[in-house]
A and B are shown apart, each in its own frame.
Chain A
Amino acid sequence: MLTLVIFLPLAVALALPGVPRRAVPWTWLGVSVVELALVAAMWAAHGTGGGTSFETDARWIPSVRAGYHVGVDGLSLPLLALTAVLFATCAVYSLRNTHRVRAFAMLFLFLETVCLGLFAALDLLLFFVFFDLSIVGMYFVILLWGHEDRARSALKFFLYTFLGSLVLLLGFIGLYLGADPHTFDMVELTRTPPFAGSPGLAGLTLLAVGAGLAIKTPVVPFHTWLPPAHTDAPAAGSAVLAGVMLKMGTYGLVRIAMPLLPDAWRRYALVMLVVGLVSVLYGAFVALAQDNVKRLVAYTSVNHMGYIVLALGAAGYAAGDTDARRLAVTGAVTQMVSHGLVTGALFLLCGVLHDRAGSYDIGRFGGVARRAPVFAGLVAVAAFASLGLPGLSGFIAEFQIFAGTIGTGTAATAVTGALAVAGILVTAALFLRVLHLVVLGQPGELTPRVTDVRRPELAALVPLLALSLLIGVAPRVLLDTIEPLSAAVVALVGR
Chain B
Amino acid sequence: MSAALRGVWGVVPPQKAGMIPGWGSGLVVDELSVFLLVTLAVVLVAVLAYAWADGYGVRFHALMLLFAAAMAVTVTASDLLLLLMGWEVMGAMSYALIGYVWSDPERVRSADVAFLTTRAADMGLYAAAGFAVAGAHSLKLDDLATANAPWRDLIAAGVVVAALGKSAQLPFSFWLSRAMAGPSPVSALLHSAAMVVAGAYLLLRLRPLLDATGWAATTVSWAGALTALLLGAVALAQRDLKQLLAASTCAQIGFMVLAAGAGAVDGGTAHLIAHAAVKSLLFLCAGVWLTRRGTHRVVDVAFGIGAVALAGVPPLSLWVTKDEVLAGVGSSALLAVGFAASVLSAAYAGKALLRLFQAAERVPVPLAQRIPLAGLAVAGAGLGVLGLPGILGEAGPVAWESALAGAFAVLTVGVVVAVRRVPEPAWALRWFWLERAALAGVVRPGFAVARALARFDDRVVDGAVEGVARGGRWTAGLARRRVELRVDGLVGAVGRAARGLAALARRPQTGQVHLYFAQAAVVLAVLVLVAVLAG
A and B touch in the complex (CB under 8 A): yes
- Alpha-carbon distance A324/B151, docked complex (angstroms): 15
Contacts of A221 in B (CB 8 A): 461
Contacts of A223 in B (CB 8 A): 461
B133–A403 CB distance below 8 A: yes
Whether A389 contacts B115 in the complex (CB less than 8 A), given A221-B461, A289-B453, comes out as: no
Closest-by-CB residue of B relative to A427 is: B119
From A224, A290, A425, B119 is in contact (CB under 8 Å) with A425
From A290, A326, A435, B454 is in contact (CB under 8 Å) with A290
B126–A424 CB distance below 8 A: yes
Closest-by-CB residue of B relative to A389 is: B92
Contacts of A330 in B (CB 8 A): 20-21
A289–B116 CB distance below 8 A: no
Contacts of B298 in A (CB 8 A): none
A422: CB under 8 A from chain B?
yes
From B21, B102, B126, A479 is in contact (CB under 8 Å) with B21
- The interface stretch among B40-48, B188-196, B407-415, B444-452 is B444-452
A282: CB under 8 A from chain B?
yes
Contacts of A171 in B (CB 8 A): none
**Chain B 77-90 near chain A by CB (<8 Å), digits 1 or 0:** 00001001111110
Contacts of A475 in B (CB 8 A): 19-20
- The interface stretch among A123-131, A173-181, A193-201, A390-398 is A390-398
- Alpha-carbon distance A492/B131, docked complex (angstroms): 25
**Chain B 98-134 near chain A by CB (<8 Å), digits 1 or 0:** 0100111100110010011001100100110111111
B394: CB under 8 A from chain A?
no
- Among A223, A429, A433, residue most surrounded by chain B Cβ atoms (within 10 Å): A429
B457: CB under 8 A from chain A?
yes
- Alpha-carbon distance A404/B130, docked complex (angstroms): 6
- Alpha-carbon distance A207/B291, docked complex (angstroms): 66
Contacts of B423 in A (CB 8 A): none
A303: CB under 8 A from chain B?
no
Q: Which residues of chain A from 188 to 237 have a CB within 8 Å of any chain B CB?
A: 220-221, 223-225
B22: CB under 8 A from chain A?
yes
- Alpha-carbon distance A494/B447, docked complex (angstroms): 41
- Alpha-carbon distance A404/B131, docked complex (angstroms): 9
A442–B105 CB distance below 8 A: yes
From A285, A389, A424, B449 is in contact (CB under 8 Å) with A285
Chain B residues touching A, range: 35 or more
A429–B116 CB distance below 8 A: yes
Contacts of A378 in B (CB 8 A): none
A440–B134 CB distance below 8 A: no
Contacts of B454 in A (CB 8 A): 285-286, 289-290
Closest-by-CB residue of B relative to A48 is: B21
Contacts of A370 in B (CB 8 A): 103
B139: CB under 8 A from chain A?
yes
Question: Whole-angstrom distance from the CB of B56 to the nearest CB of chain A?
Answer: 16
A340: CB under 8 A from chain B?
no
Contacts of A491 in B (CB 8 A): none
B134–A321 CB distance below 8 A: yes
Contacts of A388 in B (CB 8 A): 88
Contacts of B102 in A (CB 8 A): 369, 439-441
Contacts of A160 in B (CB 8 A): 465
Contacts of B119 in A (CB 8 A): 424-425, 428
From B116, B134, B453, A285 is in contact (CB under 8 Å) with B453
Contacts of A384 in B (CB 8 A): 92
B403: CB under 8 A from chain A?
no
B23: CB under 8 A from chain A?
yes
